[in-house]
């Protein structure tokens, strides 16, 4: 945990007063077209002014990200979101139910200058979310406009969920880096497209399918999501060592990500000894990185139940293992 880790999980408006200077420095850096390392409740983001094409280009460059993969615009509240995009009744219902929080909504773009073409990869839709982490909320309020922030990892690598991991990925490209402690959720936001037809789940996350359907009814069946959510290619979230999923036990030379009761030992990282999916989600990316650091022949991962948050965990694991989701 970083020096400011005590801000984790605090409610809105409860940031320690000594963080105000950092927040203002971050807002100034964004206004000057610089990059900012931004903690959110899901994963650390690499933030830039969404309206500034040069700043947005610097994000793609820092991540080594293909330019056909659009970014998420982060805003302070639903009112700002509704100025940027066309929110129909279903989008409004989802936003009211889950914002601020780990849900991203894809809707038709309304203000094409506020989130520039490059940020949207030329699409006529935009992905928007209102994060709940008090530091990101404070920076968004101080800056005033939308901030695009992909996960702060270099393209294809696991998303950083601690300040140290985020610094190691893209921290050197940032004018200001904010330590928000370990990320509470640990997986990227749920992405839902609300366009023609029923809402479509583009990326599973902490807001589960069951929770979404309780608000808007049945979601559209998964289709060729690679087309609609262009970043969702195979071999994403991948550590250096090959990942083997649904493992019953590790083979010699493998690290093991266990789930549930399992004897401690060298190379064993238990995602949740009690079998909690939210604990496993919060640990997943940092444990993949920790397992990688012991330079194993491979990383074996125990089977994770496919209910609730398990859908999102298994999505990331399949991609880490190189399977298309």
Q: Which residues bind Mg ion (CB under 5 A)?
A: 151
Nearest to 22 by CA among 39, 9, 44, 8: 39
The interface with ligand TXA within residues 28-57 (CB under 6 A) comprises: 40, 42-43, 45
Name the residue nearer to ligand TXA (CB basis): 203 or 289: 203
CB of 154 to Mg ion, least distance (A): 10
70 sits near ligand TXA (criterion: CB under 6 A): yes
Nearer to ligand TXA, 198 or 230 (CB): 230
Pick one of ligand TXA, Mg ion, none as the site partner of residue 170 (Cβ within 5 to 8 A by kind): none
Q: Is 57 buried (19+), middle (13-18) or exposed (0-12) by CB count in 10 A?
A: middle
- The smaller minimum CB distance to Mg ion, of residues 135 and 149, is found at 149
* Binding site partner of 80, from Mg ion, ligand TXA, none, Cβ cut-off 5-8 A by kind: none
CA-nearest of 318, 283, 282 to 303 is 318
Count residues near ligand TXA (CB under 6 A): 29
Considering only residues 252 to 291 of the shown chain, the ones binding ligand TXA according to CB under 6 A are none
Least spacing, CB of residue 131 vs ligand TXA, in Å: 6
User: Residue 232's binding partner, choosing from Mg ion, ligand TXA, none, with beta-carbon cut-off 5 to 8 A by kind?
Assistant: ligand TXA
CB of 68 to ligand TXA, least distance (A): 9
| Closer of 64 and 253 to ligand TXA (Cβ) | 64
Query: Is residue 104 involved in binding ligand TXA (CB under 6 A)?
Result: yes
Residue 151 binds to ligand TXA (criterion: CB under 6 A): yes
Rounded to whole angstroms, the Cα distance separating 90 from 96 reads 10
160 binds, among Mg ion, ligand TXA, none (CB under 5 to 8 A by kind): none
Q: Which residues bind ligand TXA (CB under 6 A)?
A: 40, 42-43, 45, 69-72, 104, 106, 120, 123, 125-127, 131, 149-151, 188-189, 191, 202-203, 228-232
């Amino acid at each position: 945990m970083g020096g400011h880790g005590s801000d984790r999980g605090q409610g809105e408006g409860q940031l320690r007063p000594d963080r105000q200077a950092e927040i203002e420095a971050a807002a100034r850096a964004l206004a000057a077209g610089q990059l900012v390392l931004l903690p959110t409740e899901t994963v650390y983001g690499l933030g830039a002014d969404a309206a500034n094409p040069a700043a947005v280009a610097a994000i793609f460059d820092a991540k080594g990200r293909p330019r056909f993969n659009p970014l998420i615009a982060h805003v302070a509240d639903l009112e700002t979101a509704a100025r940027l995009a066309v929110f129909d009744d279903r989008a409004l219902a989802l936003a009211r139910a889950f914002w601020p929080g780990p849900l991203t909504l894809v809707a038709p773009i309304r203000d094409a200058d506020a989130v520039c073409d490059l940020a949207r990869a030329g699409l006529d839709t935009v992905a928007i979310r209102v994060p709940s982490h008090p530091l990101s909320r404070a920076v968004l309020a101080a800056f005033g406009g939308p901030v695009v922030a992909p996960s702060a990892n270099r393209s294809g690598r696991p998303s950083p969920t601690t300040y140290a991991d985020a610094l190691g990925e893209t921290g050197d490209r940032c004018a200001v880096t904010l330590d928000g402690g370990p990320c509470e959720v640990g997986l990227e936001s749920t992405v839902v497209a609300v366009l023609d037809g029923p809402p479509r789940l583009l990326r599973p996350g902490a807001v589960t399918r069951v929770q979404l359907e309780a608000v808007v009814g049945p979601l559209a069946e998964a289709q060729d999501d690679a087309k609609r959510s262009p970043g969702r290619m195979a071999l994403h979230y991948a550590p250096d060592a090959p990942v083997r999923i649904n493992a019953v036990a590790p083979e010699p030379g493998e690290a093991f990500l266990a789930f549930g009761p399992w004897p401690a030992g060298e190379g064993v990282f238990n995602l949740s000894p009690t079998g909690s999916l939210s604990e496993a989600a919060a640990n997943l990316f940092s444990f993949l990185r920790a397992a990688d650091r012991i330079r194993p022949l491979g990383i074996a991962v125990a089977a994770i139940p496919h209910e609730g948050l398990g859908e999102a965990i298994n999505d990331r694991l399949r991609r880490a293992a190189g399977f298309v989701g």
